Chains A and B, each alone.
Chain A
């Protein structure tokens, strides 16, 4: 499983929400939040992480602890 996190650098550009609406949503605070913190490995999470203008999204492989979004 992968763990998806959005850090405090988020500026609410919503690039991730538009790219991968199943994985990210804007909260009341107009910042992005993962819909679920744990997901099956999914390239859409990486697309979102790579598109983030402030590199706020981290995707980690829970088994190996490796950050896969770098």
Chain B
């Protein structure tokens, strides 16, 4: 085997900068767009980096999430967490469950929530302004905002955040959580939701969990009790970890590119388009997205993948594909028609995509309008990211202005 064909190993090499993918991975876009990866269990998977190929893996039904969630499949950090949830299913089971909640997350419904989110942003900024500086943006803004929004939507008490956020962190690997710690967090979260569901079943409230309980109780073929619990967990975790950290990384990226920050401050009406470029550019995770299994032989990017091959779609690298994005490593908030892959595609396209977009737009609009001189009070190399997490998650983000 020639050196060039030697598989890269998983976990992937860390990037020396939070602003770009690891150079070894970035190079694959040109040299080996479908590249073999040696997994920790000795199996081989394929890392897919080009935009069109990633889209095909996510959209083509010959690539299965359910098969990738089977216990014998190549395991990545998220396997256990998502294997049992809607993220581990293919149609028609996936359709049965997701269709119960899809309507609550459409663009139209999300727009109705915008005034509430604007009010929450203002309220958090009032408190932030009054706090002694430097102040931690994670604890006081970027985390409580999406937590409050998803909690109100699904019907989880936001004041339980310290409890469920600790489980959520552990389930996503924070602190290099062991398998036992991840399993314990999963049990904690499942028991929490079982109690919440029992309380809402006895006394329904006007929220998504109560609506799901009613749907299940009317027709238990529609949703099992375990599926109901797993759906609640998926919405709670998916609804805050990603948005919170994306808000942090948006601010860091804007501060790293001051001319772009200046442009956005002067063009806040273009915050929608700007957030799309931040979604494209920012590397929230490192490396591959949730794996798929090829259910039959498929030719992808000139490579013949035998049936049973595990495939890792690299969303963050697909966002740097020069055949789709001109000068892809340039951060340019004026970029138009931005076909980024950060929310995925196909049946597993992020359920909360429209909600996340709106939250991030309003968070940035509020921050730049109210605190135009905001800056991080520690240098980049003193930023502390939680070790082991599947996404770049800051412990704290001390800011001043």
- B339 within 8 Å of A by Cβ? yes
- Segment at the interface with B among A11-19, A33-41, A60-68: A11-19
Q: Does B55 count as interface, using CB distance less than 8 angstroms?
A: yes
Contact: B99 with A51, CB < 8 Å? yes
CA of A47 to CA of B345 in the docked complex: distance in angstroms? 16
- Cβ A15 vs Cβ B347 within 8 A: yes
B86-104: which residues lie under 8 A (CB-CB) from chain A?
91, 95, 98-99, 102-103
Pairs A–B under 8 Å by Cβ, sample size 20: A9-B107, A13-B343, A13-B345, A14-B55, A14-B59, A14-B346, A15-B345, A17-B346, A18-B58, A18-B91, A18-B345, A18-B346, A19-B347, A21-B61, A50-B102, A51-B347, A53-B106, A53-B107, A54-B107, A54-B108
Residues of A within 8 Å of B58, CB to CB, are 14, 18
Determine the chain A residues whose CB is within 8 A of the CB of B99 once the complex forms. 47, 50-51
Are A55 and B106 interface neighbours, CB within 8 A?
A: yes
A6 in contact (CB, < 8 A)? no
Chain B positions within 8 Å of A55 at CB level: 106-108
User: What's the Cα separation between A55 and B107 when bound, in Å?
Assistant: 8
- Say whether, besides A13-B353, A53-B105, A55-B107, A18 and B61 are in contact (CB < 8 Å): yes
Q: How far is the CA of A58 from the CA of B100 in the complex (A)?
A: 19
Residues of B close to A19: CB separation below 8 A:
91, 95, 347
List residues of A (19-57) whose CB comes within 8 Å of B's CBs.
Answer: 19, 21, 26, 30, 47, 50-55
Candidates B61, B98, B106, B351; contact of A54 at CB < 8 Å? B106
Number of residues on chain B facing chain A (CB within 8 A): 24
Interface membership of B335, Cβ < 8 A = no
A53 to B61, CA, bound (A): 19
Residues of the A chain whose Cβ atoms lie less than 8 Å from the Cβ of B105: 53
B347 proximity list for chain A (CB < 8 A):
15, 18-19, 51
A15 vs B349: C-alpha distance in the bound complex, in angstroms?
A: 7
> What is the interface of chain B, defined by CB distance below 8 A to chain A?
55, 58-61, 91, 95, 98-99, 102-103, 105-108, 339, 343, 345-347, 349, 351, 353-354
19 more CB-based (< 8 A) A-B contacts, given A12-B345, A13-B345, A53-B349: A9-B107, A13-B343, A13-B349, A13-B353, A14-B55, A14-B345, A14-B346, A14-B349, A15-B345, A17-B346, A18-B345, A21-B61, A47-B95, A50-B103, A51-B95, A53-B105, A54-B107, A54-B108, A54-B354
Q: A residues engaging B (CB < 8 A)?
A: 9, 12-15, 17-19, 21, 26, 30, 47, 50-55
Instruction: Identify the interface centre among A15, A21, A55: most chain B CB within 10 Å of its CB.
Output: A15
Inter-chain contact A15/B107, CB cutoff 8 Å: no
| Min CB gap B217→A, angstroms | 21
A11 to chain B, nearest CB (A): 8
* B285 to A: closest C-beta gap in Å: 19
Task: Name which residue of chain B comes closest to A56, CB basis.
Answer: B107
Pairs A-B, 5 closest by C-beta atoms: A18-B346, A13-B349, A54-B107, A14-B345, A18-B59
How far, in angstroms, from A9 to B55 measured CA to CA in the complex?
20
Which residues of A sit under 8 angstroms from B106, Cβ to Cβ?
52-55
CA distance A3 to B103 in the complex (A): 22
**Given known A19-B347, A21-B61, contact A53–B353 (CB-CB < 8 A):** yes
Which residues on the A side are within 8 Å of B91 (C-beta)?
A: 18-19, 47
Which residues of the other chain, A, contact B103 by a CB distance below 8 angstroms?
50
Q: How far is the CB of B72 from chain A (nearest CB, A)?
A: 25
Q: A18-B347, A26-B59 are in contact. Are A12 and B98 (CB under 8 A)?
A: no
Closest CB-CB distance, B23 to chain A, in whole Å?
A: 28
Q: Give A28 Cβ to nearest chain B Cβ, in Å.
A: 11
Docked-complex contact A51 and B61, CB < 8 angstroms: no
**A12 adjacent to B339 (CB under 8 Å):** yes
Alpha-carbon distance A12/B353, docked complex (angstroms): 12
Q: Report the Cα distance A9→B91, complex, angstroms.
A: 24
| Least distance between A27 CB and chain B CB atoms (Å) | 12
